[in-house]
Amino acid sequence: MMYTKTEEQVVLMKEAAMLVSKTLTEVATVLKPGMTTLDIDQLCMEFAKDHKGTLSFYNYHGYPHHICASVNDVVVHGFPNKTPLKDGDIVSIDFGVILNGWHGDHAYTFILGEADAAAIELVKITKESLYKGIEKAIANNRIGDIGYAIQEHTEKKHGYGVVRELVGHGLGKHLHEDPQVPNYGKRGTGLKLKENLVLAIEPMINMGTHKVFTDDDGWTVKTQDGKPSVHFEHDVCVKKNEAFILSDFSIIEAAEKANINLNTSYY
Ligand code: MF3
Ligand code: CO
C-alpha cells in the first residue's frame, strides 16, 4: 500500500529518521580497525533503546540482528559478525528504528584507514548519486526520474554496476511501503510522485558488475565478481519544489571527519 503523510506525520517521521542519523553518528565516533560489526550492532541497539526507539530490523522476516553490516563485496543485508574490521575496509551500516509508531531506515558507508583510491572514488560517487536521485523527488516527477538520475551518475558516467535486484521503498508505519524505488530506470516513466510521500532512496552501487547473489544464509547479498559495493540511504519527503530530507548526513560526516581512524580524503 502507498500512503502519503500529513504534515504532522512528516514531523514525527523526521524524528524517527534523526534517531537513526544520531545512532550512525555514534558509530562514526567510535569506529576503528579491530572493532567487530557485532560490537556496532550492540552499540546501535543500546543507543536506540536509550532514546525510546524500537528496533525494526530484528526479526523482520526472520532477520536475526539489529543492523545490516555490509563489508567490501557484501552489497546489503550482511550479518554482523566477530571478524575484526581492518584498514581499507568499506563498511556500510544500515539501521532502522520505530519511534512513536513511525519508521526511520537509513544507511551510511564508512572507509577505514588507508583504502584503494578506486574504492574511495566509489564511495564518493555513490553518495553523490543519492543526492542526484533526491533532487528528482519532487511532486509531479515520476519514480523513473529518480532511478534515471542515479543510474546516469554511476553506470553511464563512471562505469559502475547498479544493483537491480534490490530497490528503495516507501516508508511510514511500515518499513517497506509502496512504491518501490529502483536505482535505475527511464525518465518520465512510473508512478507520479505526490507531495508528502516519504521514500527511502538507497543506491547500491558496485565497482564492477551489477550482478549479485545471495549467500547460503538466505540474506547476505554479495557482488558476483567479488569487487566492492557501496550503499547509502536517506529518508526523504516529496515536496513541490525541493525534497525534504528527513535523515541527516551532516552530523555523521562531522563525527567521521573528527575520527582519525576513518578515511575522509575524498571530501
Ligand atoms: N534498509 C533495508 C531495506 O530497506 C532494511 C534491512 S531489511 C532487514 O531493505 F531485514 F534487515 F530488516
Ligand atoms: Co531501506
Q: What is the pLDDT of residues 159-193, one digit of tens each?
A: 999 999 999 999 999 999 999 999 999 999 999 99
Ligand 1 atom 11 nearest Cα: 57
Kindly report, residue by residue over 45-65, the tens digit of the pLDDT.
999 999 999 999 999 999 999
Decide: 219 in ligand 1 pocket, CB within 6 A.
no
Give the ligand 1 atom nearest the CA of 63: 10
The answer to whether 208 touches 227, Cβ cutoff 8 Å, is yes
Cell of 51: 532514546
Ligand 1 atom 7 nearest Cα: 57
CA distances from 198 to 173, 237, 239 (A): 11, 4, 10
Give the DSSP H/E element, type plus range, for residue 168: strand 168-170
Give the ligand 1 atom nearest the CA of 233: 1
Cell of 251: 552530523
Most informative mutation of 61, 77, 166, 167 for ligand 1 (most atoms within 8 A of CB): 77
What percent of the chain lies above the pLDDT cut of 90? Answer: 99
Kindly report, residue by residue over 117-160, the tens digit of the pLDDT.
999 999 999 999 999 999 999 999 999 999 999 999 999 999 99
Q: Are strands 161-162 and 54-55 parallel, antiparallel or unpaired?
A: unpaired
Report d(CA 17, CA 102) in Å as an integer: 9
Distance 57 CA to ligand 1 centre (A): 6
**Quick count: other Cβ atoms within 10 Å of Cβ 49?**
13
Ligand 1 atom 12 nearest Cα: 57
The answer to whether 102 touches 16, Cβ cutoff 8 Å, is yes
Q: How confident is the model at residue 1 (pLDDT cuts 50, 70, 90)?
A: confident
CATH 1.10.760.10 fits 7-258, yes or no: no
Mean pLDDT for 229-239 is 99
* Residue 70, pLDDT above cutoff 90: yes
Decide: 59 in ligand 1 pocket, CB within 6 A.
no
Give the ligand 1 atom nearest the CA of 94: 1
Give the ligand 1 atom nearest the CA of 106: 1
Q: What residues does each domain of the chain span?
A: 7-258
Kindly report, residue by residue over 23-40, the tens digit of the pLDDT.
999 999 999 999 999 999
